[in-house]
Structure formats: C-alpha cells, structure tokens
C-alpha cells in the first residue's frame, strides 16, 4: 500500500532562504519529501517555482491544519502563490469533442487503463456520432449542437452539463468549434486544447494543409491551455514527426493523429498530477 | 575503383510510360542503373520527379552524345525539365559568413573529411575575424564589409569574388546580412541558407529569443534555398531538439548551434549530390 | 472513386535491364504505375528489390492473365521471386494476446478507423480477460489456455481457430507464451511480434527491468517477423524514447506501451499494404 | 560579471530531513542556491542524490571552512558521499585518439568555442597522423605507439604524459586500443569512452557492421565511464538515428560519426560541469 501523499505547488519572487523555509517546515511537521523539483526563472528579476510531493501519514497535525500553518509560516513571508493537493483527490475531466475520435479515445483509454490520476466524468459533443463509443466506457455523453449562431446558448448548455458533472478540467479533444472568452474564463489554466500543428507555426484552420503547402520536413502537435486568444495560450507539450515530399495531406493527417494522441495524453496526465505551473504565457512542467 | 557514374534529374507532367521510356533508353545505351528514385506529386494534375544514378563505363556512346540523344528521344516527347551531372563533376561552394563559426566549420570539416561531393573554393565574410580559421583549411578568405548603406557595392564585390572562384553553390552559414533580390537571382536554387528556427515559426530576427518568449517545448533549424522573400524559400531540411523551461535563451542558442550544423551539412550534401529538385516553393529530396 | 490497383513485389539477382523490362511490360499492357520503389542491396553480388503499385482499370487483359504473362515474359528470364496482390484483397489478421491490452487495442482501433488495408478476423488469448473488449469491436474471441505442458494441444487448437477464420497474418500483441517452431512455420514471414525492447538489446524476458538495471538513457520497441529462434527474426520497425534516472521500471513500462503500440501499428500496416520484403534475416520496407 | 559559484554533489541513504539540513546549512552561511536538483532512487531502500549550485560571494566564511563545516554539520550525520567544486576550477582533459578525428575535433571545437567548463591539456595517440590538427588548437600532441605486445610500456608512457599534463579527465575519442584495468583504475569514474553503438546492443568490435547484419532500423552511440569490463561501464548519454535498408555499412558509419560527436560532447560537458553522479553501474545525470 502506498502511504498517502500530498503535492505542493509554489511560485514566488526568488530570494535566498526559500528552500530552507519550505523543507524545514515540512520536516518539522513530519512530512517526508518524496519528490522535490524546482526551477528559477531569470526573467523579471527571478521567479522561483517548485513542486514537492510528500508523504502525509506521519504528519504531526491534520493536513488542513498543515495547510493553514504553511500559509502563515512560509507562504506569506515569501509572497507565494501556492496550492496544496492531496494525491488521492482525483480531478474530474470533461471532454469536448466533435467527430474525430482519436484524441478522445486516447484519453479514455489512458484513464481506463489506470494511467490517469483523474476520472473522465462527461463527454460533450456538437455531433451525436460518438455516443455509443463514449457510453461503452461508462461515461455519460451529451449532444449539444453548436455553431456561430447558437454559440451563446450552446455554451450555456455545456456549462450546465460540465457544472452538473463537477468537471474541474476541460479537454478539447479536437473540438472544432470556437469557444468564447467567457466560456474559457470559467476554467482558467484548466482548459486544455490539442492543436494539430507545431505552434506557433500553422495556427488557425487546416494546419496539415498549411504544412503541406509550405513543404515542411517535420510536422507536429501542440497541447496548450486555452486562453481568450486563439491558439496562443501557454504551451504544455509538443511533439513532432518527420515527413517528406512523399506525404500527402492525408498522410500528414494520419501521422498527425498519432502525434496529437501522444501529446494530448501527456499534457492531460501532467495536468492531473499537478505537474504544470503557468507563469505568464509559459509553463513550467515538472515531468 | 568505383566505375564512373552520372546522375539524371527529371521533372515532367505525369503520364503513363515515363519510367519505361527512361529505363529502356538507358538500358539500350548500356547505362547500368545503380539508384532510381521517383515520386509523383498529386498537385496540379500530377508531376513526375525522378533521380537516377547510372554507371557510364559501358555506354555505347560518349556521355555528351547520350545527353543529346536523351533530349531528342525522351525529354522532349515527355516535356521534361531535366539535367545530367557527372558524379565526378564536383560542385564549387562559396560560403558567406559573419562571426558565428559553427555552421562554417561544419561545412569545411565535412568537406575536408571527404564526405562532400564538392569543394569549398572561397569564404567571404563581412567581418575579418575568421580569416585564420578559414585559411588553415587552405581556402581563400575575403573580407567584404557589408551593411544597409553599402549593400550594392558589397554585393558587387562579393559577386566578383564568387565569380572569380567559379562558385556554383552559395552557402549562407549564418551570414547576418540581408541579401538583395538581384544578388539572390544570380544563384537560383543554388543559394542555401540555414535559419536558426523551425520555419515557418519564428521567421525574422532573433528566433531563439522568440522561441523562448513563446515557451515552445521544441526548437529547430531549417535549411532552405534563398529566394527574394526572406525566410520563405523552399525548405530542404529541418531538424529539432527538445527543450524545457530550464533552458535559457543562451541554452537555446547552444542547442541550436548543433541543430544548425547538422541541418546545414545535410542540405549541402544533398544539394551537391544532386538529390534535390525544386518544384514551386517545395523540394523533392531523394536522400 | 479510386481506380483499382495492384501491387507487385519482386526480388531477384541484380543485373542491367530489370527496370526497363518491368516498366515496359506494364506500359505495354496499359498498367499505369502509381508508385515505384526499388532498392539494390550490395550484399551477395547484388540483389534487386522493387515494389510497384499500378492502376488496373485500363489493362489490355484480365489481371490473372497479366500475372501469367509477367511470369513468362519477365519473372523467369530474370529469375525473380515475386508476388502480385490486388489492393482490394484485404488480408485477414488474427491477433494472439495475453492480458496486456494496449497493443491489441491499437491494432483494433487502427483497423476500425479504416487505416488498415486488412480485417481483424479473430482474437485468441490464453486468458479470458479481454473477451468483452474484443467482442465490442465485433470480432470473435477464443480463449485457448496455453502453457509449457499443454503447448502442443493449445497450438493445435489455435491453428484450428485461425484456420477456420482464414487468417493469413498472425499478430502477437504481447502474447506471453512461447510459440513452437512448428506453429511459426505455418505463417512464414507472416507472423509479426512486438518485442518490448530495442532489439538486439534486452532480448528475452522482462526487458524493461533489464533496461532499468543497465541504466540506458533510451528505451525502445521492436516489431519483427517471428522465426524459430526467439527474438531473432527479421526486424520490420523500431522506435525509441528517451529516459533518465528518474524513470522507475513502472515508468519504463508505461512509456514502453506507447512505443509498442506505435511500432506494432506501423509494422502491421506496412505488412498489410505489401510494403515489406524479407531477404535473409533482414527486411526491405518500402514505406 | 557572474558572481562566483560552487557546486555540491551528494549521495546518501534516503531519510527524512536531508533537504532541510542541506538548505538550512547553506542559507545560514549566506550561500544563495541557484540550482537545486535531486533524485531519490527506490533501489536498495532508497538513495538520495542531489546537485546544488550556489553563489559564494556572500558566504560568512571562506569556502574551505564552509567545506569543513558542511562535513561536520551535515555530511557525517547523514552518511553522505559528497564533493564540493568551485565553478572556476576548470577540469583538465586529456584525449586519447587513434586515426578517426571526428570525436576528437568535436571536443576540441566545443572547448575552443568556450562551451566547456574545462581545458584540453593534452592529446595522446597511437598514430602520428593527427599531430598537425591537434597542435593547430595549441594543444600538445604525444605519439605513443600501442598494441597487444607493448601494452604495459605504452600505458606507462601515457600515464606519464597525462600525469605531467595534470589531466583529471580522460576522454577516449575512438581510441582503438584496449586499456588495461590498471590504467582505467587511475581515473575512476573520470575516464569517458564513446562507443559507436547503442549499448548494450553490439558491444565489441565493428558495431556498424553488426548493426547492418542484424538489419536494425535505428542505430546509436553511447558515452560511458570506462570500467575494467569492456563496454559495460555506467552509461552517461546515448542518442540514436533512424536508418533503413538503403543504408550501407559506410552510410551507418557516416551517420554514426554525427551521433558519436553529439553524444560524446554532451557527456564530456556534463562531466565537466559536475552534473554526473555514478551509483553502482548507473549514472544520475542532472542536465
């Protein structure tokens, strides 16, 4: 049996003594550190980031009290933005999808196989096609038609479905509809999109066609947090594959599907294990 | 001893019978095919591309006459654009460089080691710094100051140097000056640039800084033929390397140097072995 | 609508005139070549390999007759080993599996999505666990217990199931049982295994543990044709992923699953599209 | 100007309080931590590894005294194996080479370009061929013939040369001679070899030929610390490149040269920046 664990994510202005303060605090309270990653960005005078995973079975006080004590003793003096997560608290994933099923299925499979510290709680699509597929995983499926003229109503309806399901992560698994800034704002840094190109190259529509027309020798896929600006949010993960003049647009799409699956699955896993800190328009990923 | 070889490069509208026509012609004249690559693009109603390498030691007529016969018997009936090169005809490379020496050295060294079917005949730089380095390879070095205000004179002077050296390939090995459309036009599809990003991402200046600011997880380098439009010519080769939040701009530059070296060396080698056919703004590379 | 196509695979001793003979023959009979790959190995005095894909809708004689004519006119004079396949003839795949489902599911899913020029006709397992999973794809599932003491009976039973299903390709998707030389001999160069290491490194049992213990920085997966000698058959495809001291054996397994899926899917697709020629203990893959 | 830095490398049995002890000690003495990597291996009941880089310009005592204090206050209580290095202390590299110059040149270049926190102090070869090349970098070259029958004398002579040059790292840059266990023992975990295969595949002689004969689809190179057992020491870094049936043994060698250069350069850089901890037959690399 694995002893219970918690994860601490912190970012704050860099200055001497942060590591000593955090590690001494945890040691004092009986928290055994399992994993301790950190990074100091040199931008803006130095920003310190850290992710700790520690055992909670020998704490000298309940975790809620530890959280409170950390706030007073460490977080405030160092002006930290921080959060604490129990490793047993599984995030709740909602997936938005259209007709392409590969990215959706990859997340469902990864979850089903037990490789995800999260649960898929609902799938919403603007097409009815994938209902049977989704329901075979025991996941509720909602068909919410969407389009330019019904955007507001559709997003209202989706927000209801996601709210009712208690979703705290939204995954756009090749969801082929624009999402409004208002909708995005409900899940800040918690809405993940897979873009089928190596961003910032080929932002916008039909990136495989764009890649084909430009004659690139490598194509890619990008998972990023969704922000109000299309295809411009913080990048979580990217991967690439080699192509040549022999590849048609269809070949690029087929190859791209594999890249999209891989990249999205990694990004979702990292997010669900609290391995990603967003800072400005960039991410720190403690993988 | 390797028997003498020739290389035939062809592009023409696709239609039945091309392979039979070419291969029968060569067989009839005693040319033993060593290597035969081809590709049919589906764009524009189909374009056929091929590269053949064949032995010339048992030809039933001199190579010049074979060339003439091919033109009459095969090339014209099929409306081919084509060229024939003797494998023993080594191309003559001129390198333009500024202060960064890594791309320059990679080409010089590849050449020196005998991995290039070409010779480096001259190096021109807008800075005097690399003279000793270049001359230690036995290659003449010319210092031609360049800049916005002296562009025309500088390019005139460079054209003289390159002309005198008999250069038929021009390699921009991190040459940090704009080259004018007129200058480019002297070496159509024979001027190769290494761009320090994964084009079309981060075209223009300081791509590593751009990549850093965008927070990409992979960086790249691109070798392409230079055209009048900056950073937009046909891509010959690209390669990439993985990066993370841990990489500073300086780290990206260091990592990028290795990518640039590798990508440029491959592109130059392929060009010198007549493995690249340009079609529109794309390349067919028979590697 | 795509016009009907056929695929011709050939290997023969290299000598002048082969290309001309094949291409002239096809042109003469109205077969328009779509794709023409070839390779000449320098081993053993030269072996010529080729794969052609050609349209059959304007043939001047039925395909069976063309096959006969090719045999007489071209294949015999050049001592060719060859075969002709209609692109519409879909191969019939049987999958053997134990408990790990990732490789199995990848093949099933690739097939279901229409990316495979073949059909999965039966799945056989030495465990009952994956029955529901498999049947949800509409594929029959047979549970045939296997083990050292019942090898002969088990293989007899499996041969019956596979025979009844008309399987002409057998895929070992992490089938954790030894297969006897007799069983292998029924599907020569038509039985594909996925080995969870970068062969020849870590042949045998528990390769991820072996890799972990050796401290390698890269792990891999290998798809190969099964031969009488364990893990030593002709390699069809390999791929790798980077690892570090941070990866536990469990991490290697998780990462490895993705590699195995990718590598096996590619190998099966290439086999089903008649892109693989086996020569001695090596493969020529016209991808 | 960069403030002076020191690097602390530690390994010890894992137990609670290590991070707190180290970081509090450093904070107390005015050492500002710049970089702090760590890893806990789950083998053998848990081993803790860490690498810290800290500024030394505001220490409250001289670095030698800090070293002494660390030993008493932290290292002994936690049973640490550890070492402290000043970032300004550049290691002294000796390179052993035979006739292949690519690995040698890569290290020399990297050094010359200023990318190495070390100096190349001598090059020894069993052939005289590369003398001019080496001396053009301003590095002394010694020709020490070697071979089965003169091993002992040769190694004695080399040990003198390396000793006189004050070498503390020995790089075998394709040195094609066996080195005896006695010779190796002089530079424990400080002698780095580049092997031209993806170890443990193709250990021993002529690995490219072995790879060709086995028909692998990927080849690699491996940098490792040399131990008494040939090709079996702790792996520092590996990299790979894709190949196909089209690659001859010569092609593999050419491609391999690039892999060898890249892999060796990284391994040497990491070693010189004190980023590698050897534990048993494996490495922890804090890159």
Tens-digit pLDDT profile for residues D188-227: 999 999 999 988 999 888 999 999 999 999 999 999 999 9
| Helix B207-214 / helix B249-272 crossing angle, nearest 10 deg | 130
Give the pLDDT of residue D2. 65
pLDDT at A88 over 70: yes
CB contact under 8 A, A20 and D24: yes
Nearest CA in chain A to B197: A201
CB contact under 8 A, A238 and B216: yes
**Nearest by CB to C244, which of D216, D246, D285?**
D285
CA C261 to chain centre: 14
Nearest CA in chain C to A239: C241
Asked if B232 contacts A213 with a C-beta cutoff of 8 angstroms, the reply is no
Domains of chain C, start order: 5-86 (3.30.70.260), 91-285 (3.40.50.170)
Q: Mean pLDDT, chain D, as a whole number?
A: 95
Q: Which long-range contacts (CB under 8 A, 24 or more apart) does C150-153 make?
A: C151/C177, C151/C178, C151/C180, C152/C180
| Helix A207-214 / helix A249-272 crossing angle, nearest 10 deg | 130
Which of the 8 DSSP states describes residue D176? -
What is the CA angle B191-B195-B201, rounded to 5?
130
User: Which chain C residues are Cβ-neighbours of B30 within 8 angstroms?
Assistant: 16
Quickly state the pLDDT bin for C2 (edges 50, 70, 90): low
CB contact under 8 A, C217 and D238: yes
pLDDT at D133 over 70: yes
Q: Rounded mean pLDDT of A126-140?
A: 96
Q: Round to whole Å and give the CA distance between C194 and A238.
A: 26
Q: Rounded mean pLDDT of A78-85?
A: 97
Comparing CA positions, the residue from A164, A117, A111 lying closest to residue A134 is A111
Q: Is B176 helix (H, G, I), strand (E, B) or coil?
A: coil
Measured from the Cβ of residue A8, the count of other Cβ atoms closer than 10 Å reads: 25
Measured from the Cβ of residue C223, the count of other Cβ atoms closer than 10 Å reads: 29
Q: Round to whole Å and give the CA distance between B226 and B223.
A: 9
Give the pLDDT of residue C3. 76
Quickly state the pLDDT bin for D1 (edges 50, 70, 90): low
Q: Rounded mean pLDDT of A74-101?
A: 96
Q: Round to whole Å and give the CA distance between B62 and D144.
A: 52
pLDDT at D180 over 80: yes
Nearest CA in chain B to C36: B38
User: Which chain D residues are Cβ-neighbours of A27 within 8 angstroms?
Assistant: 16-17, 19-20
User: Which chain D residues are Cβ-neighbours of A19 within 8 angstroms?
Assistant: 19, 23, 27, 33, 36
Q: Mean pLDDT, chain A, as a whole number?
A: 95
CB contact under 8 A, D19 and A17: no
Query: Which string of DSSP letters, residue by residue, matches C6-73?
Result: EEEEEEEE--TTHHHHHHHHHHHTT-EEEEEEEEEE-GGG-EEEEEEEEE-TT-SS-HHHHHHHHIII
**Count of all residues that appear for chain A in the document:** 287
Give the pLDDT of residue D3. 76
**Nearest by CB to D109, which of B105, B113, B115?**
B105
Residues of D with CB under 8 A from a CB of A: 16-17, 19-20, 23-24, 26-28, 30, 32-36, 38, 40, 242
Give the pLDDT of residue B155. 97
The predicted-structure confidence for D3-12, as pLDDT tens digits, reads as follows 789 999 999 9
Give the pLDDT of residue D42. 80
Give the pLDDT of residue C285. 97
Any idea of the CA torsion for C110, C112, C117, C119, to the nearest 10 degrees? 120
Pairing of strands B191-195, B218-225: antiparallel
**Nearest by CB to C136, which of A101, A102, A136?**
A136
What is the rounded end-to-end Cα distance, in angstroms, of chain B?
Answer: 24
Digit-by-digit pLDDT tens for chain B (287 residues) are 567 899 999 999 999 999 999 999 999 999 999 889 999 988 778 999 999 999 999 999 999 999 999 999 999 999 999 999 998 899 999 999 999 999 999 999 999 989 899 999 999 999 999 999 999 999 999 999 999 999 999 999 999 999 999 999 999 999 999 999 999 999 999 999 999 998 899 988 899 999 999 999 999 999 999 999 888 999 999 999 999 999 999 999 999 999 999 999 999 999 999 999 999 999 999 98
Q: Rounded mean pLDDT of D137-145?
A: 97
E strands, chain C, in order: 5-13, 32-41, 47-55, 81-86, 91-97, 118-125, 141-143, 169-172, 191-195, 218-225, 235-242, 276-279, 282-285
Q: Rounded mean pLDDT of A121-132?
A: 97
Give the pLDDT of residue C230. 83
A183 class by beta-carbon count within 10 Å (0-12 exposed, 13-18 middle, 19+ buried) = buried
Quickly state the pLDDT bin for D27 (edges 50, 70, 90): very high
Ordered strands of the A191-195 beta sheet: A141-143, A118-125, A91-97, A169-172, A191-195, A218-225, A235-242
Dmax (CA) for chain C in angstroms is 64
CB contact under 8 A, C102 and A115: no
Q: Is D88 helix (H, G, I), strand (E, B) or coil?
A: coil
The predicted-structure confidence for A137-166, as pLDDT tens digits, reads as follows 999 999 999 999 999 999 999 999 999 999
Report the share of chain A in percent with pLDDT over 70. 99
Asked if D210 contacts D234 with a C-beta cutoff of 8 angstroms, the reply is no
pLDDT at A1 over 60: no
Asked if C173 contacts C104 with a C-beta cutoff of 8 angstroms, the reply is yes
Clarify whether A231 is annotated catalytic.
yes
What is the rounded end-to-end Cα distance, in angstroms, of chain A?
Answer: 24
The predicted-structure confidence for C101-150, as pLDDT tens digits, reads as follows 999 999 999 999 899 999 999 999 999 999 999 999 999 999 999 999 99
Q: Could you tell me the CA-to-CA distances from C11 to C23, C76, C280, C283 in Å, in that order? A: 15, 12, 12, 12
Measured from the Cβ of residue B160, the count of other Cβ atoms closer than 10 Å reads: 12
Q: Round to whole Å and give the CA distance between A117 and A91.
A: 7
pLDDT at A2 over 80: no
Give the pLDDT of residue B208. 93
Pairing of strands B91-97, B118-125: parallel
Pairing of strands D141-143, D91-97: unpaired
The predicted-structure confidence for B170-208, as pLDDT tens digits, reads as follows 999 999 999 999 999 999 999 999 999 988 999 888 999
Q: Round to whole Å and give the CA distance between B181 and B195.
A: 18
The predicted-structure confidence for C216-233, as pLDDT tens digits, reads as follows 999 999 999 999 988 899
Tokens of D118: 């070390």
pLDDT at C1 over 70: no
| Whether residue C200 has a cis bond before it, omega within 30° of 0 | yes
CB contact under 8 A, A217 and B235: yes
CB within 8 Å of B217: residues ≥ 6 apart: A235, A236, A237, A238, A285, B242, B243, B244
Q: Round to whole Å and give the CA distance between C38 and B39.
A: 12
Quickly state the pLDDT bin for C204 (edges 50, 70, 90): confident
Comparing CA positions, the residue from C275, C280, C279, C227 lying closest to residue C87 is C275
CB contact under 8 A, C245 and D41: yes
Asked if A12 contacts A83 with a C-beta cutoff of 8 angstroms, the reply is no
Nearest CA in chain A to B234: A215
Q: Rounded mean pLDDT of A126-146?
A: 97
Comparing CA positions, the residue from A94, A44, A86 lying closest to residue A66 is A86
Q: Is A287 helix (H, G, I), strand (E, B) or coil?
A: coil
Comparing CA positions, the residue from A26, A234, A73 lying closest to residue B213 is A234
């Amino acid at each position: 049996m694995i002893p219970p664990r918690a994860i601490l994510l912190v970012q704050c202005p860099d200055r001497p003594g942060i590591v000593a303060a955090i590690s001494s605090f945890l040691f004092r309270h009986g928290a055994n550190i399992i994993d301790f990653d950190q990074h100091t960005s040199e931008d803006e005078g130095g920003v310190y980031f850290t992710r700790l995973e520690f055992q909670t079975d020998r704490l000298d006080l309940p975790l809620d009290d530890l959280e409170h004590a950390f706030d007073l003793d460490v977080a405030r003096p160092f002006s930290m933005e921080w959060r604490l997560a129990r490793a047993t608290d599984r995030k709740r994933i909602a997936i938005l999808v259209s007709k392409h099923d590969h990215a959706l299925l990859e997340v469902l499979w990864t979850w089903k196989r037990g490789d995800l510290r999260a649960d898929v709680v609902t799938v919403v699509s603007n097409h009815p096609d994938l209902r049977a597929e989704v329901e075979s995983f025991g996941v509720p499926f909602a068909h919410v038609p969407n389009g330019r003229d019904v955007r507001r109503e559709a997003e209202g309806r989706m927000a209801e479905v996601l709210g009712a399901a208690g979703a705290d992560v939204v995954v756009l698994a090749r969801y082929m509809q624009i999402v409004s800034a208002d909708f995005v704002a409900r899940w800040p840094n918690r809405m993940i999109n897979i873009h089928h190109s190596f961003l910032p190259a080929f932002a916008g529509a039909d990136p495989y066609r764009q890649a084909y027309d430009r004659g690139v020798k490598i194509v890619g896929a990008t998972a990023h947090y969704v922000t109000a600006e299309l295809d411009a949010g913080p990048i979580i993960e990217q991967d690439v594959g080699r192509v040549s003049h022999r590849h048609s647009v269809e070949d690029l799409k087929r190859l791209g599907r594999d890249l999209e699956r891989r990249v999205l699955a990694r990004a979702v896993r990292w997010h669900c294990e609290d391995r990603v800190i967003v800072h400005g328009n960039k991410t720190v990923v403690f993988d």
